[in-house]
Structure 1
């Protein structure tokens, strides 16, 4: 009796790859979310940033609460009308800290893979690099937006609860309150996407972090409204846009601008950062 052994015709590598289904974008997003949440350092960074930002804001509100009786009666009466309660809801120091931290977290999403070499595995598994970077941008946007909303919401609730013990707190329904919370929350994804774009272009941890500090911290402090070119350049930065949005009682300066322009700066930075991150990895070596 003759045994018949089944034979398998081996396909060439290129032909076999052509028959394999391409990764769907939803699968790429799920994979990037798995990478993002599986790193313990990521959640430590988010947690430390949240505690520091909320602590800054709550500390400022508590300082006002503890020294309330030492203020003049006219100053106490003007506390809410002058918008100082909203300034306590999310302070400038807290905004700078969150912007720096989120830009670093966004940069590490891609720089971390370049430094460990795992980006080679990622691009070997999914040659469509632009799709990979788009998935990273989606994950960064969603996670940091949720983070920003949580931090801004808790900061507002806690600071106003502290101030309300002196009858100086305000509610989310008061004029300007929701805008302050929303602007503070959206500062997180804007800065995180900017960090992602810088990381995709520079690809080195130290250089990326230094550039992030310059863009987020140094430039807004260096540029002022004293000259036209400086004012216009400063108005294009996310932190200066945040300052305009949270300034409820805005008094026109030498070169004024509106809240519509500030929201536009947010949108342009987010869209431009996504585009740079996606385009920069196409046809570049690892």
Structure 2
């Protein structure tokens, strides 16, 4: 009599199940909601503060300056300022790094990899969740900042409407800067595995480097154009003038390239390391 022994094989986790798991894991952290709320307030404060200054000191400007502010649509510059973009980049990159580093620090990553050996799928699911959450975050911050700043400036008759040239592009570019920064932070977190090191790396790579690269020489100008922060400046309408100007299409490509490269780096690093 032949005895048949049935082997039990665990079914592979479906990708949508991995996405759901990463979603629950992210929102199970109490810090997630608070960090998004505080980040929203911090970024919006810089934008509304700039609009408030123009409203408050409106009568200190001469008539020609007030007329130029309105006719040139300078109110759009208050909708999302460079300081706000700096805070957004740093905040989102830090949160993206924490999403990876936290598991390594607590040792939970061992359990995660034991449950889901398909590391590439796991990382892709995490990247999708991060991109979705921070795209929503960026949309709320950018859209809310535009509405609030223009409402303040409209009290002086200086606000612009959403159909103003460049307004939609500014809001979209500012919103998408959030997920691009979060994914870059995720890649740095996977590479360095230390929260402080990942944050410092994000500051250097995403903020310091684009600031120190000169636009006066072609090699450094081209290198500067490959950074998300300079791409945002170009899309925001600040960066087209210079000896080596570039296109808005090129700036959008930089956004996409950084997002894809960050995911690929994270996948390769996680696959090649034991833990």
Confirm or deny a common fold (TM above 0.5): yes
Give the match's secondary structure for 1:282: helix
Match of 2:125 in 1: 135
1:1-39 Cα shifts (integer Å, max 9, x gaps): xxxxxxxx987xxx43xx111110000000000011110
Give how far 1:173 is off: 1.0
Aligned residues: 273
Cα offsets for 1:200-250 (capped at 9, x unmatched): 1221222111101101221111112021111111100000000010117x6
Q: Distance in 2 between matches of 1:80 and 1:113?
A: 51
Confirm whether residue 206 of structure 1 aligns to residue 196 of structure 2: yes
2: CA distance between counterparts of 1:224 and 1:150?
Answer: 33
Give the superposition deviation at 1:264: 0.7
Identify which of 242, 253, 258 aligns with 2:232.
242
CA distance, structure 2, for counterparts of residue 170 and residue 72 of structure 1: 20
Q: Structure 2: state its 5+ residue gaps.
A: none
Q: Hey, what's the Cα distance between the residues in 2 that align with 1:119 and 1:80?
A: 55
Quote the Cα distance in structure 1 between the aligned partners of 2:128 and 2:147. Answer: 28
The structure that has the greater radius of gyration is 1
What's 2:273 paired with? 284
Deviates more, 1:162-171 or 1:226-235: 226-235
Aligned partner of 2:67 in structure 1 is 77
Compute the displacement of 1:191 (Å). 0.4
Contact 2:234 2:240 in 1 (8 A): no
Which residue of 168, 181, 193 maps to 1:191? 181
Q: Identify which range, 119-128 or 269-278, moves more after superposition.
A: 269-278
- 2:172 corresponds to: 182
In 1, distance between residues paired with 2:228 and 2:111?
Answer: 34
- Tell me, in whole angstroms, the C-alpha distance in 1 between the residues paired with 2:256 and 2:160: 29
- Partner of residue 3, structure 1: none
Superposition RMSD in Å: 1.6
1:221: which partner in 2?
211
User: In structure 2, the residue corresponding to 1:285 is in which secondary structure?
Assistant: coil
When normalised by structure 1's length, the TM-score is 0.92
Question: Aligned to 1:58, which of 48, 73, 78?
Answer: 48
TM alignment of 1:23-62, pairs within 5 A: 23-62=13-52
1:4 corresponds in structure 2 to: none
* TM-score in terms of structure 2 length: 0.96
1:260 to 240, 249, 269: 249
The DSSP-based 3-state class of the residue aligned with 2:75 is: helix
Structure 1 unaligned segments of length 5 or more: list them: 1-8
